[in-house]
Amino acid sequence: MSESADEIIASVSPRSVGPNSLFDESVQITSENVSQFSSDPSDVRDAKNALTRAGFTVYEEASNDQTIQIGGSAKQFKEFFGAKIKKQKAEIGPGVQTTFMATDSDPAESMLGAPEEFSSLIEGAVIARPPTYFAVSAIPPIADVHASAYPYFYAPDGISVMLRAARVHRLGVTGKGIVVGMPDTGMAPHPFFRERGYRVLSTLLGPGASDPSIDTVGHGTGEAANVFSCAPDARLRPVKMGNDAVGAINVALNSSPKPHILTNSWGWDERDVGPVIPNWLKPLEAAISNAVASGVIVCFSAGNGHFGFPGSHPDVISVGGVHVNLPDLSDFEASSYASSFNSTWYSGRACPDVCGLTGKRVNIAGSGKAPSIMLPVQEGAQLDTIAPPTGPGTDGYGLFSGTSAACPQIAGIVALMKEKKATLTPVQAKQKLKQSARDVTKGTTGNGVTAVAGPDLATGSGLADAKWAYLNTMSEVATAFFAAPKEQQLAMVNSGEMPEVSQEFVQDLIDTLRSR
């Protein structure tokens, strides 16, 4: 360790036992030939003595068979090596600068030669320059498509385009003023969110949870990207869950500002728990019922082959999954990874109601995966290393989906609907999502249910369509507009409550009608 900030560190190479100098640019040093660049122990000893006598500090523990690490002042390096040292700056990470003393990086300047009396003993020296620390990027990597997988979506663009939220965004409707609560595994401070200006409120802790900004699973951080893909101006309230799901939901509902929407990508399998809802899940059933009764729109994943509860609760929007055979955006099918089922606890309750994007099931690394979306995760989190890989090592991104991803997408679409119709109720939100969804006519779900024309058990009403859902919502605003007196009409237009509709928007509407 340097004794002072002004100390300059260098790597000195005593003469190599092999025919080439360690600094010979024409020779690559590999594990196969590195021993040729080692030095005779007597040469190492003599070099160290010479350097010590010249006033340098020899760092024994930092040295190896090839180089001796030394520290010294600019004056010492100038006197011994003739080095021209100058103060320099470097950016070693995003927005992180450091200053250091070194030679110019030009090879003619950076290669230091020993004084003549030591020139046969020391073949050269170079002064250390600080490295760049490869922090997680706001831009996801370009990952090879695994041989067993399929082309994937990027958040936010791929999701917003496929779910047609991008069309709604072009009208200036982006989820402004809407708060989405998300009980999950935590929310890591990832540049993906910061660099896009997404509004993430402080993460709250559910009972029994700790370290709100640490998400070692990566699930919460990744699913948050799905919310913003559809509602880029919504405010997200993450809640890191402990074991107590009810407590986490209560934390979300008791927070300020109170969420308008809750998105939940978790649950239990009814079949694993028992033939009827057990007493220990009654608190959760009650909490969800009360949330919906208070006007909060509650979305739950249906599961990945599970009979997911609370996704089966009658009052929630139960979200299933649809796979898109990219690059054809019109070629989609029920995801073989997603759930569809008739609840064993709630008679007559079919799940899902509507679907978001979920990759179909493929076997990679010995288990089923659905690598259809590139999502940000905490660097080193479990989902940072989920197969298939997104690149070498941990890069802060993972390829995964499941109905875990589909649910926050739907929550984002609901945020768009709620922005313009503040009185939108949970029942209306579900109804309008279902009325406006795109029919899915093929594919078989993780529970073996095959999609057919029209609403079905496999995908409910089908793949959500944000634009149509928004139009459906706006139809009531339009009705109110046309029924209002002129002064109120003017006020609605001036306030943006009744938006202007562009010709392009209308043309797209016509095109969509013709395609259905």
Partner 1 sequence: MNGTDQTVVQVVMKNADGSSILTQEALRAGAGDVSAARAEEIRAKLKALGLEVLEGNLNTLSVAGTSDQLEAIFGLTQAAAAIGIEAHAAHISKDLEPFVADVFIPQPPEFFR
CB of 229 to partner 1, least distance (A): 17
CB of 364 to partner 1, least distance (A): 14
Name residues contacting partner 1, limited to 177-196 (CB under 8 A).
184-185
d(CA 16, CA 20): 7
d(CA 101, CA 125): 15
| Member of 94, 189, 212, 283 binding partner 1 (CB under 8 A) | 283
| Member of 29, 139, 276, 286 binding partner 1 (CB under 8 A) | 286
Asked whether position 244 contacts partner 1 by CB under 8 A, the answer is yes
Asked whether position 251 contacts partner 1 by CB under 8 A, the answer is yes
Count of Cβ atoms closer than 10 Å to residue 138 Cβ: 15
Asked whether position 388 contacts partner 1 by CB under 8 A, the answer is no
CB of 110 to partner 1, least distance (A): 48
Amino acid at 459: T
305 secondary structure, DSSP code: S
| Member of 10, 22, 187, 245 binding partner 1 (CB under 8 A) | 245
Tokens of 334: 């029920």
- From residue 415, alpha-carbon distances to 70, 187, 255, 372 in Å are 60, 20, 18, 23
354-357 and 367-369 strand pairing: unpaired
Stated as kind and residue range, the H or E segment containing 286 is: helix 282-293
Q: What is the 3-state secondary structure (H, E, C) of 56-101?
A: CEEEHHHCCCCCEEEEECHHHHHHHHCCCCEEEEEEEECCEEEEEE
Tokens of 133: 């620390």
d(CA 248, CA 241): 6
204-205 and 261-264 strand pairing: unpaired
| Member of 153, 192, 266, 341 binding partner 1 (CB under 8 A) | 266
User: With CB under 8 A as the contact rule, which of the stretches 65-73, 193-201, 243-251, 389-397 interacts with partner 1?
Assistant: 243-251
Asked whether position 295 contacts partner 1 by CB under 8 A, the answer is no
Binding track over 396-425 against partner 1, x by CB under 8 A: ----xxxxx---------------------
Measured from the CB atom, is 15 or 219 closer to partner 1? Answer: 219
- # chain residues binding partner 1, by CB under 8 A: 48
Asked whether position 301 contacts partner 1 by CB under 8 A, the answer is yes
Residue 285 backbone dihedrals phi, psi, to 5 degrees: -55, -45
Asked whether position 269 contacts partner 1 by CB under 8 A, the answer is yes
| Member of 207, 212, 368, 380 binding partner 1 (CB under 8 A) | 207
Residue 122, beta-bridge partner list: 14
CB of 396 to partner 1, least distance (A): 16
Residues interacting with partner 1, by CB under 8 A? 184-185, 206-208, 217, 219, 241-247, 250-251, 253-254, 265-269, 278-280, 282-283, 285-287, 289-290, 292-294, 301, 303-304, 306, 308, 315, 383, 400-404
